[in-house]
């Protein structure tokens, strides 16, 4: 993805990337209420709705590059999902396939591409929006590059 600035209409696109990764890796369906979480001309926002109907606002600063926008929204969604999943099955989403069961992957800019990375060794895992379910031992799923 290029470094050009994106408009506020790109928030749905970024959420679709993250929806893909959530559904592909843990089967979680992200519920979005497309109403502004805040009314600010410098921020585009929506509500994420949790399983218990709780809401968390996702804020996307306008005027960011595509990569910056994806990283900002990925961090918001990752925090939301980790809190949602902590009660059910742990909070390592998306799980780092290099160190399974220890920590989640971290969103980072890798050469101008918004990428899930291992925070321990810095290795790239996959561009955000391309994770896939890969069956492994014990019925676990690990993210792998796709598309």
Domain range list for the chain: 8-91
Closest CA to 133 of 19, 18, 25, 29: 25
The per-residue pLDDT for 90 is: 65
pLDDT for the residue 87: 67
Q: What is the pLDDT of residue 85?
A: 82
Query: SS in 3 state form for 125-147?
Result: EEECCCCEEEEEHHHEEEEECCC
Assign 85 to helix, strand or coil: helix
Instruction: Give me the pLDDT at residue 134, please.
Output: 56
CB 57 within 8 A of CB 45: yes
Among 1, 12, 18, residue whose Cα is nearest residue 109: 1
C-alpha 6/C-alpha 65 separation (Å) is 6
| Strand partners of residue 111 | none
Read off the DSSP letter of residue 134: E
Query: In tens digits, what is the pLDDT along the chain, a chain of 147 residues?
Result: 434 444 434 899 999 999 999 999 988 899 999 899 999 989 999 999 988 888 999 999 988 999 999 999 999 999 999 888 876 666 789 999 999 989 999 999 999 999 999 999 999 999 999 998 755 444 344 444 443
What pTM does this model have? 0.80
């Amino acid at each position: 993805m290029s470094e050009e600035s994106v408009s506020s209409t790109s928030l749905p696109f970024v959420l679709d990337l993250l929806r893909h990764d959530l559904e592909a890796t843990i089967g979680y369906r992200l519920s979005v209420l497309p109403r502004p979480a805040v009314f600010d001309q410098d921020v585009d926002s929506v509500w994420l709705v949790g399983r218990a109907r709780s809401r968390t606002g996702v804020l996307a600063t306008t005027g960011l590059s595509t990569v910056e926008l994806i990283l900002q929204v990925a961090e918001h969604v990752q925090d939301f999902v980790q809190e949602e999943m902590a009660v059910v099955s742990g909070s390592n989403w998306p799980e780092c396939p290099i160190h399974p069961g220890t920590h989640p992957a971290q969103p980072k800019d890798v050469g101008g591409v918004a990428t899930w990375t291992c925070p321990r060794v810095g290795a790239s895992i996959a561009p955000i929006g391309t994770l896939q379910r890969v069956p492994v031992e014990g019925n676990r799923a690990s993210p792998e590059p796709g598309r």
